[in-house]
């Protein structure tokens, strides 16, 4: 029985009748779907539904607690119902998460735009959605960590963006007023063909300045080769934008994991 407060009364959100073991299995499946490589070791293994819904609200907004409560009142029941029934997660929550990625900006020492919680939910949402469809063309992107062999353009372009961002930081240092992520990520994720030619031109300057420019340049070429010289997509669907975000997150985690000498600040 799921209840919600409605003025001075309680309202029934859902009423489900199943053996306790069935509910336990579905909750375990929910947390299994959310599993993804963490940004930092001290991040929680299990993300509460409230914590997920909180990511629909910018951390920089005034009276954020009230905004989060409103988000919970709108989507909390649908999310809990999906968890307990094994049904697809609410599309409204996925859309809200993508919108926050589009509009939020990072702090100097904190990933806000694309973070562990948001990407974990995007992965889980797409896994759950396509579990009920015979063909899941994104399956190889919906893993805990980087899949270097998956060649879907949205995933490869997300990876490429992470490498181009790393090239910029290697060339100009960590304290950049506005990174390519700040300026171009939203457009690159939605309309790649209009942005990536600009980013690739910028990368020539960054690679030339970087101490390890040849390594970065080789990685850029490898990713471009995976696109098989096909025209860049003019637009990505909402689901493909989620795959782009996953590619970016997976590649970013891999880049900084390999650089074992990086400090926490380098990884933020």
Q: How does residue 258 score in pLDDT terms, banded at 50, 70 and 90? A: low
Cβ–Cβ < 8 Å for 77, 2: yes
Task: Read off the pLDDT of residues 198-232 as tens digits, 9 standing for 90 and up.
Answer: 999 999 999 998 887 889 999 999 999 999 878 89
Using alpha carbons, select from 248, 230, 213 the residue that is nearest to residue 122.
Answer: 248
More confident residue, 2 or 18: 18
161-175 pLDDT, tens digit per residue, is: 999 999 999 888 777
Task: Answer whether 125's CB lies under 8 Å from 93's CB.
Answer: yes
What is the tens place of the pLDDT at every residue in 183-193? 999 999 999 99
60-66 mean pLDDT = 78
Residue 109: phi and psi, rounded to 5, are -120, 25
Which residues neighbour 69 within 8 Å (Cβ) at sequence distance 6 or greater? none
Q: Give this prediction's pTM.
A: 0.89
Q: Specify whether the CB–CB gap between 216 and 163 falls below 8 A.
A: yes
Please tell me the predicted confidence (pLDDT) of residue 6.
Answer: 67
């Amino acid at each position: 029985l799921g209840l919600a407060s409605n003025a001075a009364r309680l309202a029934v959100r859902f009423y489900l009748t199943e053996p306790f073991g069935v509910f336990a299995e579905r909750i375990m499946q929910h947390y299994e779907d959310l599993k993804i490589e963490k940004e930092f070791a001290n991040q929680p293994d299990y993300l509460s539904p409230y914590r997920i819904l909180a990511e629909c609200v910018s951390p920089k907004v005034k009276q954020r607690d009230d905004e989060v409560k409103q988000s919970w009142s709108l989507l909390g029941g649908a999310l809990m119902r999906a968890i307990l029934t094994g049904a697809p997660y609410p599309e409204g929550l996925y859309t809200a998460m993508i919108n926050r990625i589009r509009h939020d900006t990072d702090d100097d020492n904190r990933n806000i735009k694309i973070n562990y919680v948001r990407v974990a939910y995007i992965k889980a949402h797409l896994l759950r959605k396509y579990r009920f469809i015979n063909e899941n063309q994104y399956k190889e992107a919906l893993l805990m960590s980087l899949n270097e062999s998956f060649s879907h353009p949205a995933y490869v372009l997300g990876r490429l963006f992470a490498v181009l961002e790393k090239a910029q930081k290697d060339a100009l240092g960590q304290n950049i007023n506005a990174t390519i992520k700040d300026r171009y990520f939203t457009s690159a994720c939605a309309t790649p063909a209009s942005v990536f030619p600009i980013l690739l031109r910028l990368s020539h300057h960054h690679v030339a300045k970087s101490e390890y420019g040849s390594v970065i340049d080789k990685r850029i070429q490898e990713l471009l080769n995976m696109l098989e010289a096909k025209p860049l997509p003019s637009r990505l669907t909402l689901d493909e934008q989620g795959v782009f975000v996953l590619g970016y997150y997976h590649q970013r985690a891999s880049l900084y994991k390999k650089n074992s000498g990086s400090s926490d600040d380098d990884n933020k």
